[in-house]
Homo-oligomer: A and B are copies of this chain.
Amino acid sequence: MPFQFPLRVYWEDTDAGGIVFYANYLKFFERARTEWLRSLGLGQQRLREQTGGMFVVTDAQLRYLAPARLDDELIVTAALQDHGRASLTIVQQALLKTEQSPPLLLTEGSVRIGWVDAATMRPARMPAPLLERITPSP
């Protein structure tokens, strides 16, 4: 079961085509990743203060299948797909809540985030306690 984050589509998210602007799914994905990390006890502002590091996105892929509209309720998922010592790959979906089940898949993608030193922006190994929280041992 991937992590699930609910959100609502507001005016700010839509464009003159009457649908959610394509870049905004990357906002939605970021919110879900942030809440997934928070659910593991990892607040990014605090991480940065404690470790001097932060995540930056290095790759993103999106496939848009169906549009979302004003007032729609979405579920955005995040699930760890893969990881190294300095990066994580997370698969994500935006689904439309419907009266019927299951929800309708609108957009899916994957995002690779790398750990960097916030001062230099250079890639760095994730601190061990961070990686342990994200990748529970079996």
Interface residues of A (CB under 8 A from B): 8, 10-12, 14-19, 21-24, 26-27, 30-31, 34-35, 38, 43-46, 54, 56-64, 66-67, 69-71, 118, 121
Q: Are A10 and B27 in contact (CB under 8 A)?
A: yes
Which of A8, A16, A23, A58 has the most chain B CB within a 10 Å cutoff? A16
Contacts of A17 in B (CB 8 A): 11, 54, 56, 118
CB <8 Å contact, B62 and A67? no
Whether A34 contacts B11 in the complex (CB less than 8 A), given A45-B69, A121-B19, comes out as: yes
CB-contact partner of A67 in B15, B43, B121, under 8 A: B121
Prevailing SS type, chain A contact patch: mixed
Least Cβ–Cβ distance between A19 and chain B, in angstroms:
7
Return the chain B residue nearest A46 by Cβ.
B71
Cα(A51)–Cα(B45), bound, Å: 25
B61 touches A60 (CB 8 A): yes
* B residues less than 8 Å from A30 (CB atoms): 10-12, 22-23
Contact for A70 among B27, B44, B58, B67, CB less than 8 A: B44
CA distance A63 to B64 in the complex (A): 18
The reply to whether B61 and A61 contact each other, CB–CB distance below 8 Å, is: yes
Q: Tell me the minimal C-beta distance from A79 to chain B in angstroms.
A: 19
Q: Which of A19, A62, A69 has the most CB of B within 10 A?
A: A62
